[in-house]
Amino acid sequence: MTPEEYWAYKAFTRDDVTERALASSEVFMEYRKAELTREDHIRRVNAESQEKDKQETLKAFDEFERKVVSSSELKDKFRKIKAHLDENPDIAAKTDPNFIAGINMLDLEG
């Protein structure tokens, strides 16, 4: 093992003695608290952002569905697309799964 490999190994692996030494350091403890607080904040912000994105996507889908349902021409086209994909699984396999899921979610019967 070369000196570089040894120090890389030491940097990424810690034994109990190293952990106890770090845990007893006041500076390290303050750093650790700050890092945990920062990580928690980032997780909360990401969760809020994801929830907001989901709500916006749902709203956009609802608006799109209203447009499709209100137009008999669009409704017929989506029915034909859905029937075609149902009859031809090889084409459906090549189609974006999100598109197929979206068509299946549309209320085309009403």
Cβ atoms of 74 and 106 closer than 8 Å: no
| Euclidean distance between CA atoms 32 and 43, whole angstroms | 16
| Euclidean distance between CA atoms 84 and 73, whole angstroms | 17
| Euclidean distance between CA atoms 100 and 81, whole angstroms | 10
55-72 pLDDT, tens digit each: 999 999 999 999 998 998
Whole-number average pLDDT of the chain: 87
Question: How many CB atoms within 10 Å of residue 95?
Answer: 14
Question: How many CB atoms within 10 Å of residue 108?
Answer: 19
The pLDDT, as a whole number, for residue 60 is 95
